[in-house]
Amino acid sequence: MSKKLVTRWLAALLTLAVLASACGGRDDSAADTATTTTTAAPDTGDDDVDQPDEPDEPDQPDEPDEPDPCDVTLEATEIGVSEDEITVIIMADSDNALAPGLFEGARVGAFAWADDVNRRGGLGCRTVNIEFWDSMLNPTETENGFLKACSDALALVGTTVLFGTSTDDLESCADINGDPTGVPDLAYITTEVPHQCSSVSFHISRPGASCPYESGERDYTAAIGPVTWLAEHTGEDLHGLYLVPSDLPSTTASAVPQIAAHEQAGVIYEKAFGVSGALPQASFTPFVQAIRENESNFVYNGSNDATMAKLLNEANDQGLDLSSVNWLCTLSCYTPAFLENGDVVEGVYVWMFFLPFEEADTNEELSNFMTAVDDDFPEAWAAGAWADGVLLEAAVNGIVAADGPNAITRARLLEELAGISSFDVNGWWGAADFASTNSISDCFMVTQIQDGEYVRIHPEERGTLDCGEDNVLGVTADPSQFTPDS
pLDDT tens for each residue of 78-103: 999 999 999 999 999 987 665 567 78
Task: Decide if 185 contacts 147 (C-beta within 8 A).
Answer: no
CA distances from 453 to 339, 345, 350, 424 (A): 7, 10, 11, 26
pTM of the model: 0.85
CA distances from 289 to 283, 309, 316 (A): 11, 17, 12
Query: DSSP strand E in 286-440: where?
Result: 298-301, 326-329, 349-352
pLDDT in tens, the chain (486 residues): 433 333 333 434 443 333 233 333 444 333 333 333 333 333 444 444 444 555 555 566 666 677 889 999 999 999 999 999 999 999 999 876 655 677 889 999 999 999 999 999 999 999 999 999 999 989 999 999 999 999 999 999 999 998 899 999 999 999 999 999 999 999 998 889 999 999 999 999 888 999 999 999 999 999 999 999 999 999 999 999 999 999 888 889 999 999 999 999 999 999 999 998 779 999 999 999 999 999 999 999 999 899 999 999 999 999 999 999 999 999 999 999 999 999 999 999 999 999 999 999 999 999 999 999 999 999 999 999 999 999 999 999 999 999 999 999 999 999 999 999 899 999 999 998 988 899 999 999 999 999 999 999 999 999 999 999 999 999 999 999 999 998
| 3-state secondary structure at position 154 | coil
| 3-state secondary structure at position 55 | coil
Domain ranges of the chain: 74-205+360-418, 219-352+442-481
Q: State yes or no: cis peptide before 67, omega within 30 of 0.
A: no
pLDDT tens for each residue of 168-200: 999 999 999 999 999 999 999 888 999 999 999
Task: Decide if 274 contacts 249 (C-beta within 8 A).
Answer: no
Sign of CA pseudo-dihedral 281, 309, 269, 319? negative
Sign of CA pseudo-dihedral 237, 238, 240, 242? negative
What is the domain class of 219-352+442-481 according to CATH? alpha beta
CATH number for domain 74-205+360-418, candidates 3.30.2350.10, 3.40.50.2300, 3.20.20.60, 3.10.20.30: 3.40.50.2300
